[in-house]
Amino acid sequence: MEKKLAEYKCDTNEAISLKLVRFPEDVDDDGTTFHPEYSHQLFGDDEVVFGYKGLQIQLFYTAGNLSTLFKVKYSSKVSEVFDCVEPDDVEGKIREIVPAGFTCNTDDFISLLEKDANFKPFGTLLHTYTVHSEEAGELTYQIHKADITCPGFQEYHKRLQTFLMWFIETASFIDADDDRWDFFLVFEKYNKDGETLYATVGYMTVYNYYVYPDKTRPRVSQMLILPPFQGEGHGAQLLEAVHRFYCSFPKVQDITAEDPSENYVKLRDYVLVKLCQGLPSFAADKLHLGFSADMVKEAQDKLKINKKHARRVYEILRLRATDMSDEEKAREYRLEVKKRLFGPYRKNQRELAKMRKCLRPEELVSHMGQMDTQTQHEELEKSYQVVVEDYRRIIERLASQA
């Protein structure tokens, strides 16, 4: 019995099919399908649904306005074979995140697709750029800034944010009614039957926090480039455009990010180095003198970059300007980076000093045993190697874009 019931388990990441549809023939073209990276927020940590064989959950979106087709298909349901065994409510789970207004009929979806010709990007145009494609030649992209006052934007955003659940591990929906949110959207311009249409590529949400007494601190909350467009440089274009936008406001203190992922930190490093490399305080002949107050001030004043991020920029640019085959120069660089990395370990030492005053000997021993000096040095060296490897990739990417 247990073996037979196990046949009715399905991997939800495989069962869910996503599409961004431009042409009617895309609906039946498996080549345009992509799948979630995550589905645990809806279907639990195992990312498994019970009760179906051959389960297919179709979530297809028109490329521009993201009008939605939602269908659930399966070859067999457990309740058809076993009495008193109920399948999971797949449809109910998906309805929790997909806003009302979707269709379950393919013909109706094709009609909605025809209306996509009338879709125009929301908000104001900030930046236009091109990307060369082997198949299609030069493709044009636009970055727009929108807010909730743009007609139709709130409904569009509700459809757009459903993608977060499938591609950001700890995603949550935002309260878009708050007027302190800024939205930055990336669109591709493309031709269809002689007309210019727009396809949604990705987006970023930024919340404007108040900083006493009269400043704001924009904080990046969510950022997603949709899978068909990943690896083409759109994330860097978007982040750079957002930075340049906020740099034009004297009241902006600096630009930060909420709980950034490793990939976001690497992307930010690349963009900030690109922006800072032309500043006088970061000139090659200044780098070997060390991280300076001039660097902090210029990065803050001209590019709204805080001290912590400016320090990373300095380390990357100094690595680029350092001949690492020269032992003395390499040693100087290594010590400079390790000095920053040692901060958490130094804090650990201070905490141990405080503990000595208030803990009993046996409690103190258990804390002191957490990391001896030898282990600290080994961990520090490991951290240094990881950091330098990341820095080298950024330097290579900058060289390839030059």
Q: What is the 3-state secondary structure (H, E, C) of 87-107?
A: CCCHHHHHHCCCCCCCECCHH
Rg (CA), the chain: 26
Measured from the Cβ of residue 66, the count of other Cβ atoms closer than 10 Å reads: 21
Instruction: Please provide the DSSP assignment of 203-241 as one string.
Output: EEEEEEEEETTTEEEEEEEEEEE-GGGTTSSHHHHHHHH
Query: Which residues pair with residue 72 across a beta bridge?
Result: 57
Q: Which amino acid is at 75?
A: S
Using alpha carbons, select from 142, 143, 121, 1 the residue that is nearest to residue 64. Answer: 121
Question: How many CA atoms lie within 13 Å of 64's alpha carbon, on the beta-carbon side?
Answer: 24
Strands 215-225 and 195-211, by their bridges, are antiparallel
Query: Which residues pair with residue 73 across a beta bridge?
Result: 56
Measured from the Cβ of residue 235, the count of other Cβ atoms closer than 10 Å reads: 23
Query: Long-range pairs for 307-313 at CB < 8 Å and ≥24 separation?
Result: 309/268, 309/272, 310/272, 310/276, 311/340, 312/269, 312/272, 313/269, 313/272, 313/273, 313/276, 313/282
| H or E element, residue 394 | helix 373-401
Question: How many CA atoms lie within 13 Å of 299's alpha carbon, on the beta-carbon side?
Answer: 27
Question: How many CA atoms lie within 13 Å of 335's alpha carbon, on the beta-carbon side?
Answer: 8
Is residue 258 part of the annotated active site? The answer reads yes
Exactly one of 258, 351, 363, 381 is catalytic; name it.
258
Using alpha carbons, select from 109, 39, 7 the residue that is nearest to residue 68. Answer: 109
Residues marked active site are found at 258
